[in-house]
Amino acid sequence: MEISMNGAIVLLFILILIILVLASCIKIVPQAQAYVVERLGAYQGTWSVGLKVKMPFIDKIAKRVNLKEQVVDFAPQPVITKDNVTMRIDTVVFFQITDPKLYTYGVENPIMAIENLTATTLRNIIGDLELDQTLTSRETINTKMRSSLDVATDPWGIKVTRVELKNIIPPAAIQDAMEKQMKAERERRESILRAEGEKKSTILVAEGKKQSAILEAEAEKQSAILRAEAQKEKMIREAEGEAEAILKVQKATADGIRFVKEAEADEAVLKIKSLEAFEKAADGKATKIIIPSEIQGLAGMLASAKEVLHS
């Protein structure tokens, strides 16, 4: 009984062991990953996404490869420009594994290899540029580095998708000179802007004075026109008044003549009326008046008559 019990325990142990071994041979490859499988130390194949089963004891997963795009930020590297300025530049490299087999067997440490390759490529590119070109040609440097790294890492199953210069750190003396230059440039721009503002202000003041003078001239012109119109109207009214007065005098004269004619006045009366008219014409102001002879005789007669009456 004891022997059969021990046999059952051993059998159960063996069964559990077989189940564990079979379970270890079943693998599930997740999304965006690949497994490199070796059989007896040799490359067997690359597993993609899904449920996979390997042979126990003779197959093993040599490497689990991440197929996502990855980012590596490398430490600043010392470089020397064409004009012998030493600076430090740190780079960021974006890459993606395209061939898990080449990535596994191509190079011992792919990340370290990419870092060293990045440093040497960066030194080669910066060595052909001067300081000002280095500071203003980031896009050109990025493009050249990406192209060079992509070609160099292709045998390793790696595709470099993007390279960025994160920081360019020039020496302290160069930084001070650049800051002074930037300060001087800002002051120059400020002076230009101030001068432009003063210029525009002067132009606006001149334009204002010009407009004011034009408006004053227009106002004076309108005022002169209105004064001329008023003077013209006044003269017209005076002329109309004089014409009306003349018409009234002429009418009165015509009425007087008609009255005398209708009264059938004799020649003596007419002469007396003429004499009165001359007296009114003189009005005490004339110094010399020419009087017809007939009226002179009549005037003498009137004077004699007045003397006799007064005596």
Cβ–Cβ under 8 Å, residues 75 and 117: no
Give the pLDDT of residue 274.
58
Per-block mean pLDDT, blocks of 10 residues, the chain (311 long): 68 83 83 91 89 86 91 89 88 93 90 91 90 86 91 92 89 77 84 88 87 87 86 83 77 69 56 56 53 53 49 51
Give the pLDDT of residue 197.
87
CB within 8 Å of 18: residues ≥ 6 apart? none
Give the pLDDT of residue 51.
87
Task: Give the domains, in start order, of the chain with CATH numbers.
Answer: 2-66 (no CATH), 70-170 (3.30.479.30), 265-311 (no CATH)
CB within 8 Å of 117: residues ≥ 6 apart? 149, 152, 153
Confidence (pTM)? 0.54
Give the pLDDT of residue 103.
92
Give the pLDDT of residue 72.
92
